[in-house]
Amino acid sequence: MTAQSENATGTSELSPIQTFFVARLTHLIEQRYRYSHLVGPDDWRARLIGRAVYSAYRDLSELGLAEAARAILERGRAAQEN
């Protein structure tokens, strides 16, 4: 499976599975932010979301999208700091 392919406009096109995992990581980052205001860092829900974030990151890395995954994580960190 190819990681990304360039189309005629120069933008990269993701496969359906890549799109799914990018959306999954983005959703999990949003959930982590939402729950960080509701439960403590040692709560089982916060730990579960953290493990799911790591799993989604590893999935994207295996699909050749580690840079995209890191960008999503960075945006999540920036949102949490504000």
Longest dimension (CA), the chain: 48
Residue ranges covered by each domain of the chain = 15-81
How far apart (Å, rounded) are the C-alpha atoms in residues 60 and 66? 6
More confident residue, 35 or 58: 58
Contacts of 63 (CB under 8 A, 6+ apart): 1, 3, 17, 18, 21
Q: Which tens digit of pLDDT belongs to each residue from 64-74?
A: 999 999 999 99
- CB of 15 within 8 A of CB of 1? yes
pTM assigned to the model:
0.79
pLDDT band at 7 (very low <50, low <70, confident <90, very high): very low
Place of tokens 């945006």: 75
3-state secondary structure (DSSP) of residue 6? strand
